[in-house]
Amino acid sequence: MTKKMVEKITNMDEDFAQWYTDVVTKAELVDYSSVRGSMIIRPYGYAIWERIKDALDTQIKETGHENVYMPLLIPESLLQKEKDHIEGFAPEVAWVTHGGDEKLAERLCIRPTSEVLFAEHYKNIIHSYRDLPKLYNQWANVIRWEKTTRPFLRTLEFLWQEGHTCHETEEDAHEETVKMLEVYAEICERLLAIPVVKGRKTEKEKFAGAKYTYTIESLMHDGKALQSGTSHNLGTGFAESFGIEFLNREGKLQPVHQTSWGFTTRIIGAMIMVHGDDKGLVLPPEVAPIQVLIVPIAQHKEGVLDAAYDLHHSLKSSVRIAIDASDKKPGWKFNESEMKGIPLRLEIGPKDIEEKKVVLVRRDTGEKIQVENEKIEAEISRLLKEIQENLYNKALGHRISKTAAAVTMDEFTGNLTKNGGFINAMWCGKQSCEDQIKEQTQATSRCIPFEQEQLSEVCVYCSEPADKMVVWAKAY
Ligand SMILES: [Zn+2]
C-alpha cells in the first residue's frame, strides 16, 4: 500500500471553509502576505489566471475591443462627480494622503474600478459620432478595502479586466452589455466547465451608477452562489456627469451611452469550489496549466527515465505535459498531482515498457486505463475531452439537484435550510420584500434570470401580484 506522503486536507463535508483554505495553500496556488487580506498568487495559481486571461483577452479582441491602461490613482474630486457611484464605493476606498513627507492638497484614491478615469478620458477624445463606438478594455489590479477576506473570493487587491465602452445609441449599448455577458458565460462554461445562470440584477443589487446590471451566477459545491461576472449598461448617467457629448448624425450635441463589464481572479475561487474534492483541486483540462503528468515508476531501473523523456518529447506538441523525475516516491508524486488537480497522470515503469504500454489515471474519476504505445496520443486527447465534459455535466447535475422552486416562505426557508442552493421564487418587484427575505433567510436575490417561469401569480413574501421569477441564494 502506498503511504500517504502529502499532508491530508480537511474533508469538504466536515468544514468546507477549511477545506478551501487547505486546497488553495497546499495546491500552491497562493501564499498569505503580511498585509491582511492580500494574497501572493504563486506560479501555479498565476498560470491558471494566465490561461483564463489569454482566452478572455482573445474573445475581447475578437469582439472589436482594444486594450488600454489607465492610472492607478484617482483624484477625490473626480471620484465625487458621479453621486451614486461614489456612494456605492466610498466604504471600500483606500486613500493616498501623502507623497513622501508632504501631505497632498487633494487625496488620491487607489482605483476600486475605473469608470471615472475612462469618463474623463472619453470627454477629451469623443466629439463626433465618427469617434464612436469606443470599445476599450484594461487589464489591471484594483483595491477594495474589504472587512472579511478569503484568497481569490474576496481580497483587498485583485486582478481583473474592466471593459468600458461608449456608443451612439441606447440599443448599441444594450447590445454590447448582452454581448459581453455572453462572452463571460462562454468562458465559464467552455473553459472552466462552470454552468451559469444568466440574468439581470435587481435595483438593489445592481452596480452603483448603472442603469441596469446583467450577471452570471454559479453554484458552489456547498450550495452557496457566486457572482461570476457582471456587465453593466451605464446609460447616459456618467456621460451627463462628466460631459461626454458628441455631435450626432443630425448635428446635435448628445451624451454617449456607456457600458462597463468586469471579470476577476475571483473566478479561480469558483472553479476550486465547483470541481474540487477531498483529494484537492480538480482542474478542467482546458484551463489546466499541466494536462498530463508523467510519473516514472522504479525510475532508477535502466531505461525507465529514457522512456519517460521520450514520451514527454513526442507528446509535448499536442498536450501540456510535464514529467516528475524528482527523487520523491511515486506515491508522493501521485498525491501531489491529485492535490494540484492535474487531469491525467501517466505512469510508466519497467513492466509497461516491456509490454509496450502505459497506464493513464483520470483525476476526476480515479479510473485507470491501460493504453498501448501507438494509441497514447489519441487516447489522451479523447480522455481530456471526456474529463472536460464530465466536470461540466457533474456541476450542472449538482446545480439542478440543488435548485428548488418555492411558492410560500415556508417552502423557501425549508428548502434553503435542508438543501442550500438556488431557490426560484416569484417577486413583486418591491425592495422591501427583497430586504425582508434577506433578513429572514440570509439569502440574497442573485438575479432575475433571462429564462423565466411563472411559478405562481403572487410574490413569495407579500402575496401581491408578481410577474418576475427571481433566483435567490446565500452567496459568497
Ligand atoms: Zn412582495
CA of 429 to the centre of ligand 1 (A): 6
What does the alpha-carbon distance between residue 27 and residue 45 come to, in Å, rounded to a whole number?
Answer: 9
What CATH architecture applies to the domain 2-275? 2-Layer Sandwich (3.30)
Could you say which of 3.30.2010.10, 3.40.30.10, 1.10.1040.10, 3.40.50.800 is the CATH number of the domain covering 292-384?
3.40.50.800
CA of 412 to the centre of ligand 1 (A): 14
CA of 208 to the centre of ligand 1 (A): 23
CA of 428 to the centre of ligand 1 (A): 4
CA of 234 to the centre of ligand 1 (A): 27
CA of 221 to the centre of ligand 1 (A): 30
CA of 433 to the centre of ligand 1 (A): 5
Does the pLDDT value for residue 1 go beyond 60? no
Distances (CA, A) of 119 to 126, 168, 221: 10, 15, 40
CA of 174 to the centre of ligand 1 (A): 28
Nine cell digits for residue 212:
441596469
Question: 244-263 in b/e burial notation, b at 16+ Cβ within 10 A?
Answer: bbbeeeeeeeebbbbbbbbb
CA of 432 to the centre of ligand 1 (A): 7
- For the chain, the domains span 2-275, 292-384, 403-473
Distances (CA, A) of 258 to 8, 70, 132, 175, 414: 50, 17, 11, 11, 42
CA of 444 to the centre of ligand 1 (A): 14
Write out pLDDT tens, residues 350-408: 999 999 999 999 999 999 999 999 999 999 999 999 999 999 999 999 999 999 999 99
Class of the 403-473 domain?
A: alpha beta
Distances (CA, A) of 470 to 333, 372, 461: 46, 52, 12
User: What local confidence, expressed as pLDDT, does residue 6 receive?
Assistant: 58
CA of 473 to the centre of ligand 1 (A): 17
For range 106-110, the mean pLDDT: 96
CA of 322 to the centre of ligand 1 (A): 56
CA of 426 to the centre of ligand 1 (A): 8
CA of 431 to the centre of ligand 1 (A): 8
User: What local confidence, expressed as pLDDT, does residue 3 receive?
Assistant: 45
CA of 451 to the centre of ligand 1 (A): 20
Write out pLDDT tens, residues 55-105: 999 999 999 999 999 999 999 999 888 777 778 788 899 999 999 999 999
Question: 224-241 in b/e burial notation, b at 16+ Cβ within 10 A?
Answer: bbbbbbbbbbbbbbbbeb
CA of 261 to the centre of ligand 1 (A): 30
CA of 211 to the centre of ligand 1 (A): 22
User: Could you give the 3-state DSSP secondary structure of residue 363?
Assistant: coil
CA of 420 to the centre of ligand 1 (A): 22
CA of 476 to the centre of ligand 1 (A): 25
Nine cell digits for residue 97:
494622503
CA of 203 to the centre of ligand 1 (A): 14
CA of 250 to the centre of ligand 1 (A): 45
Q: What is the dihedral of CA 111, 116, 118, 123, to 10 degrees?
A: -150
Phi (first) and psi of residue 302, to 5 degrees: -60, 135
Write out pLDDT tens, residues 125-174: 999 999 999 999 999 999 999 988 999 999 999 999 999 999 999 999 99
Could you tell me which residue, 208 or 352, shows the higher pLDDT? 352
Does the pLDDT value for residue 2 go beyond 70? no
User: Could you give the 3-state DSSP secondary structure of residue 35?
Assistant: coil
CA of 235 to the centre of ligand 1 (A): 27
CA of 189 to the centre of ligand 1 (A): 33
Query: What is the end-to-end Cα distance of the chain in Å, rounded?
Result: 40
CA of 460 to the centre of ligand 1 (A): 7
CA of 430 to the centre of ligand 1 (A): 6
Task: Find all residues with CB under 8 Å of 368, minimum gap 6, and list them.
Answer: 359, 360, 361
User: Could you give the 3-state DSSP secondary structure of residue 378?
Assistant: helix
**Residue type at position 87:** E
Write out pLDDT tens, residues 419-470: 999 999 999 999 999 999 999 999 999 999 999 999 999 999 999 999 999 9
Residues with CB under 5 A from ligand 1 (ion): 428, 430, 433, 459, 461-462
Which residue from 416, 427, 426, 470 is spatially nearest to 447, judged by alpha carbons?
Answer: 470
Write out pLDDT tens, residues 265-321: 999 999 999 999 999 999 999 999 999 999 999 999 999 999 999 999 999 999 999
